[in-house]
Amino acid sequence: MGELLIGIYVLVLSSFVGFEIINKVPPTLHTPLMSGANAISGITIVGALYAARHTEAKISVILGCVALAMATINVVGGFMVTNRMLAMFGSKKK
Partner 1 sequence: MSAQDVAQLIYLASAILFVVGLKRLTKVRTAQAGNMIAGIAMLLAVVGALVEYQIFSYQWIAIGLIAGSAIGAFAAQRVPMTEMPEMVAIFNGVGGAASGLVALSVFWGEIVEKSVTGTMAASMGADAAVTLFLSIIIGMVTLTGSVVAYLKLSGKISGSPILIPGRHVINALLLIGSLGAGVYMAFMSTGLDQTVSLALGVSAAAALLGVLLVIPIGGADMPVVISLLNSYSGVAASATGFIIGNKVLIISGAMVGAAGLILTQIMCVAMNRSLANVVFGGFGEEGGGGGKSGEYENVTSCGPEEAAMILENASSVIVVPGYGLAVAQAQHAVRELADLLEKNGAEVRYAIHPVAGRMPGHMNVLLAEADVPYEQLVEMDEINPEFAQTDVVIVIGANDVVNPASLTDQESPIYGMPILEVHHAQTVFVIKRGLGSGFAGVKNELFERDNTMMVFGDAKKVIQGLTSELKESVPGLAA
**Binding to partner 1, residues 59-78 (CB under 8 A):** 59-78
Sites for partner 1 among residues 1-60 (CB under 8 A): 3-4, 7, 10-12, 14-19, 21-55, 58-60
Q: Are 87 and 35 in contact (CB under 8 A)?
A: no
Q: How far is the CB of 91 from partner 1 (least distance, A)?
A: 8
Provide the minimum distance between the beta carbon of 56 and partner 1 in the complex, in angstroms, as a whole number. 9
Torsion angle, CA of 27/28/29/32, rounded to 10 degrees?
120
Binding status of residue 90 toward partner 1 by CB under 8 A: yes
Residues contacting partner 1: total by CB under 8 A: 84
Please list, in sequence order, all residues whose beta carbon lies within 8 angstroms of the beta carbon of residue 61, skipping any fewer than 6 positions away. Answer: 51, 52, 54, 55
Min CB(5)–partner 1 separation in Å? 10
Smallest separation (angstroms) from partner 1 to the CB of 39: 7
Q: Which residues of 14-37 are buried (b: 16+ CB within 10 A; e: fewer)?
A: eeeeeeeeeeeeeeeeeebbebbe
